[in-house]
Structure 1
Amino acid sequence: MNLINKKVTHKHFGMGSIVKHNDTIIEIHFASENKKFVFPDVFGKHLKLHDKSDANSLDEIIQKKENERKKEEWKKEEERKLQRKNQELRLEHNKLMKNHKLHSESQMVFWCDSEEQKSSLSEWKVFAGEVKSGNNKGNPNKPIRLHQNSAVLLTAVDSSEKDRRILGVYMVNEDFIGKLCEDGYIPAHSKYKLLLTEQESEQMYFWKYYANEKSPHKMTWKTGKYRYFENSLMAQILLDIVALKDNSKDRELAQQFFEHFCKMNQLTEQDLPKPNGALMRI
């Protein structure tokens, strides 16, 4: 908008003529001197254009700038709210980390369908599913027992439930706390994650280790994508995976995984019982 030579009246300096202006500064020649002002902020309360058409156009510019200012203020306020929320979550996270007490069944076994078999082992995360009923119906499940000491066992069924195979296993992400999980996804630790080969998987049957408490001789999953189980059972499984690994590099990682898991769950290899799942009781 070109305002050069346009006539104006200032509240204190009287009539004048615009001699220069850009997006931020306007210079006006009054009777005795030139004055510079912030553009377009000076208009409205202190300065008025004589030409009504120019004044209307300028009002639109001022309104647009005001809207942009309000939008920027709103954006900054939203950023401040987000920062406050993140700070509150971090404080809660640190509190839960500090006060965490080990649960004896804080391990998860997950049932992977055909599609999840690929995604879970490539992306190294699983989705805990959605709440099926109640006030939170449709919201992601919160895996509340999972903590830094937890591992997720990935399994699949080809035909019969008794042949449920172990596909892989991972410790949860270093900072993961199930109680604070909002999206239902359970990500893996940056280091401790093990993939079993097809041949290894065929030697690792879940029901060799696990038994339903109420029906210890039956191998039934019933419903749901996952269930929790004992820390010591997960340690048994990890120990057997170590024995399976032929590749020295894989075996070393499996051994480190096992030792890390036992440390996090206050377990020792000597205290682990022999596998006694439903398959062992037939």
Structure 2
Amino acid sequence: MNLINKKVTHELFGIGSIVKHNHSSIEIKFASENKMFVFPDVFVKHLRIHDKSDGISLEKIIQKKEIERKEAEWNKEEDRKLQRKNQELRLKHEKLMKNHKLHSESQMVFWCDTEEHIKTFSEWRVFSGEIKSGNNKGKPNKAIRLHQNSAVLLTSIDSRMREKDRRILGVYMVNEDFIGKLCEDGYVPAHTKYKLQLTEQESDQLLFWEYYANEKSPDKMTWNTGKYRYFSNIWMAQILLDIIALKSDPKEREMAQQFFKYFCKMNQITANELTKPNGTLMRI
């Protein structure tokens, strides 16, 4: 919009003509001197252009600028709300981290369906599933016992296998800042360092039910519903110790040893006091 030489009237300086303007400022020559103003804001209250068609065009520019201003204010307020929310979450996170008390069964064993195998090990995370009923139906489950001391054990059985043949596929520590109570999307991510995938031959030698037992029905090996269960910190330590023994490659064995050492530290377990596995398979 070209406003050069257009006549205007200012409420204080009187009649003048426009000599310069751009998207943010305008210069007007009055009888006594030239004055600079903010464009187009000055036309809202203090300045009137004589040409009516230019006035209509200016009004559209002013309206557009006002919409942009309100959008900018709304975005700033939303940013402030987000910052406040993030700050509250950080404080809550720090409080939970500081006051965390170890639970004796804060480990997760996860059932990997056949089609989930590749995705689970490529993404190194699992989805805890959805709530099946009630007011929160359809929302992700929160694995509330999981904390920075927790590991996720990955298991599977083929459709032709019996439950007692459930194999251990791998294991990972949860991400070091993960808190199950605060997880909204249901995904449990792996630690950047402590994660182990077993070969098929290794998995065949590591059966889940050698370690796990349902204390209410110690002679039964059933998993009818759900994607995961919680289980003992001691049982997880036993599994990690046996993984070390399975590893023949020096680098993989070293990684497994570091994992085991870290796990025991996080769960206050003394390695040389560990008992032998006593799962259901070991009792029959």
Interval of TM-score (by shorter of Structure 1 and Structure 2)? over 0.9
1:25-44 mapped onto 2 (5 Å cutoff): 25-44=25-44
- In structure 1, list runs of 5 or more residues that go unmatched: none
1:51-66 mapped onto 2 (5 Å cutoff): 51-66=51-66
Give the structure 2 partner of residue 7 of structure 1: 7
1:132-147 mapped onto 2 (5 Å cutoff): 132-147=132-147
CA distance in 1 between partners of 2:131 and 2:265 (Å):
33
CA distance in 2 between partners of 1:41 and 1:238 (Å):
70
Amino acid at match of 1:223: T
Say yes or no: does 1:275 pair with 2:280.
Answer: no
RMSD: 0.9
How many residue pairs get aligned? The number is 282
- In structure 2, list runs of 5 or more residues that go unmatched: none
Residue 165 (structure 2) aligned to one of 163, 166, 177: 163
CA distance in 2 between partners of 1:103 and 1:186 (Å):
18
Give the structure 2 partner of residue 113 of structure 1: 113
Amino acid at match of 2:50: H
Give the structure 2 partner of residue 151 of structure 1: 151
Say yes or no: does 1:88 pair with 2:88.
Answer: yes
1:220-259 mapped onto 2 (5 Å cutoff): 220-259=222-261
CA distance in 2 between partners of 1:226 and 1:268 (Å):
27
CA distance in 2 between partners of 1:98 and 1:25 (Å):
55
Residue 183 (structure 2) aligned to one of 181, 184, 191: 181
Q: Deviations over 1:107-154 (max 9, x none)?
A: 000000122111111111000011111111111111000001100000
CA distance in 1 between partners of 2:243 and 2:235 (Å):
13
Q: 67-76 vs 102-111, which deviates more?
A: 67-76
Give the TM-score taking structure 1 as reference length.
Answer: 0.98
Q: 271-280 vs 231-240, which deviates more?
A: 271-280
CA distance in 1 between partners of 2:63 and 2:197 (Å):
61
Identity of aligned residues (%): 78
Secondary structure at the counterpart of residue 44 of structure 1: helix
How far off its partner does 1:73 sit? 1.4
Kept after mapping to 1: 8 A contact 2:28/2:34: yes
Residue 194 (structure 1) aligned to one of 190, 193, 196: 196
Q: Deviations over 1:35-91 (max 9, x none)?
A: 111111100200011111111111111111111111111111111111111111111
Give the structure 1 partner of residue 67 of structure 2: 67
Q: 25-34 vs 85-94, which deviates more?
A: 25-34
Amino acid at match of 1:204: L
CA distance in 1 between partners of 2:37 and 2:268 (Å):
71
Amino acid at match of 1:106: S
CA distance in 2 between partners of 1:140 and 1:29 (Å):
67
CA distance in 1 between partners of 2:125 and 2:49 (Å):
64
Give the TM-score taking structure 2 as reference length.
Answer: 0.97
Secondary structure at the counterpart of residue 148 of structure 2: coil
CA distance in 1 between partners of 2:135 and 2:145 (Å):
21
Q: 9-18 vs 225-234, which deviates more?
A: 9-18
Q: 157-166 vs 192-201, which deviates more?
A: 157-166
Q: 146-155 vs 134-143, which deviates more?
A: 134-143
CA distance in 1 between partners of 2:257 and 2:20 (Å):
76
Amino acid at match of 2:272: Q
